[in-house]
A and B are shown apart, each in its own frame.
Chain A
Amino acid sequence: MTPPAPLKLFRDEAQVETIQCLSCGGPIALHSFGARQRVVCPHCGSTLAPEDSGALALLEAASRKHQSSVLPLHARGKLDGTLWEIIGICWRRCVVDGVAYPWQEFLLFNPWHGVRWLIYSNSDGHWQLGQALDGAPQILKTRHHGVRFGKQRYKHFQGAIAVVTYVEGEFTWEVRVDDKAEINDFVAPPRGLSIEQSSGPDGVELNFTVARHIDAAEVWRAFQQPGKPPRSRGIGALRPNHWHRGRRSMWLSCLVFVAAWWLLSDRLAATRHPTIAFQRDNIGFDEPFAQEIKIGTPGETTAIEFTFAASPLDNAWAYADVLLVNLANDEAVGFGIEASYYHGIDGGESWHEGSSRTTHTVGGVAGGQYLLQLQPQRGGTGSTPTEYEVRVVQDVYLTRYSVLALTTILFFPLLAWLFGWLFERRRWNNSDYSS
């Protein structure tokens, strides 16, 4: 069986045609077949337009100097797997609050895929790749002005009058310097939608363009430009918010972590039964104190809460060197604990600090028989304490473990949310809705 003949392409391979400018005689390369509406000489800026016969006629002679754009005319580059050539360059700008915001539009052409726009913003160095919208967006009656196209909603970002300031190359529309158009940009980063309205002799023309953010490095690589691209500054209108990337999985994992935290905290609380292992009051300061006590269950480790209270305590301090000596192996835990209370009047205002009662939490205490030994000290300018009280509570529930775990679990998603929000705030500060 004979295999079917390969499909013939609708169009043949692109042929580059070269003509001479009818004004300055400079060479002009043409690529866009019959789609062209205007050709602007890159050398002198004269405008040529096709006649009914297809031949180009001089529409307007000019003698302006050639200006360099961030990418050169006729540069070729592969974007989205398609090889594009820059056939036209158009500079535009808008003025907002007396500040000019210029940008450069590069008309990309591929004989099989038509045209695209590569847009470079001079003011912030961000790039967009756009194409004509396949239809018209639906205006949404929402609190924030927006449009919808397909399933994608876009929020209004900014509106301005754009003026063409410089053109060179071929164009598929009738472009000329000083052309004005009212542009409204809508965003759903990394995508955006522009509605461009211009008035002409035939009435009002509406153009819809959909664009996406493209990294400067990707453009530079694609068009094989030397060096590095101009540095991007700030947050572009369409730059993706990297804090929003993977936020769904982050919040889902947060939910899982919170559930695990709940179970573990509940289990921990159920196993903790704080009980007083030892309590004694009215102990004098005159000599060291020693008492054999039992802490926890042998073979298990527990956390204890050691409370030391002295009285009366008035502009004075009390301190005790505490030793818990495990009688089974003479291994000891030692720490100092202080209670102090001071008060007075300073500059007509009364103040006080400290407390007559101090609590110390000690973890990792092995269960067993202990000798509790205290060596008390006291002092101060007021009435020094005469007696003190000691209390040891075992199996205490250390809420700090639950608090630390929950804080860690919530901290990262909240941090990502906060940074994402700040990112968006910086983006929208450049919009018509700046706060």
Chain B
Amino acid sequence: MFRTTYWICAGLALLLLALDGAAGNYLTTTPDRGRVERDPAGGTVRGAGVFIWYGGGYQGGK
């Protein structure tokens, strides 16, 4: 049982290294992902539109 668990875990860890080591989908921070919308009132910043993100935000430091 212990050996089987070992083989499975080691195999999965190697598989993760082989398949996701370059892209880093799983072992990095999990940012918010999704569609954004151009803020109609945001105008432009250096020629680019201002996009708004629903959610997130910061509560401030100390």
Contact = CB atoms under 8 A, between A and B. Distances in A.
Contacts of A325: 36, 51
A310 to B, nearest CB: 11
Contact of A405 (B14, B31, B48, B62): B14
B46 A334 contact: no
Contact of B48 (A272, A291, A334, A377): A291
Contacts of B53: 321, 323, 332, 334
A339 B25 CA distance: 24
Given A261-B17, A332-B51, A363-B28, A246 B22 contact: no
Contacts of A301: 22-23, 25
Interface of B is mostly: mixed
B6 A413 contact: yes
A418 interface: no
> Number of contact residues on B: which range applies?
35 or more
A379 B60 contact: yes
B40 interface: no
Contacts, number: 169
B49 to A, nearest CB: 8
Contacts of A330: 35-37
A224 B13 CA distance: 49
A404 B48 contact: no
Interface in B26-58: 26-29, 31-37, 44-46, 48-51, 53, 56-58
B57 A321 contact: yes
A216 interface: no
B31 A408 contact: no
A381 B24 CA distance: 38
Contacts of B33: 331-334
A335 interface: yes
A158 B54 CA distance: 74
A107 B60 CA distance: 82
Interface in A315-346: 316-317, 319, 321, 323, 325, 330-336, 338, 340, 342
A380 B45 contact: no
Interface string A250-274: 1001100100110011001001100
Given A371-B49, A409-B14, 11 more contacts: A261-B17, A290-B45, A290-B48, A362-B24, A363-B26, A373-B51, A404-B13, A405-B14, A405-B17, A408-B9, A409-B10
Interface of B: 2-3, 5-7, 9-10, 12-14, 16-18, 20-29, 31-37, 44-46, 48-51, 53, 56-58, 60-62
Chain A to chain B: the 3 pairs with minimum beta-carbon distance, closest first = A363-B24, A317-B61, A303-B24
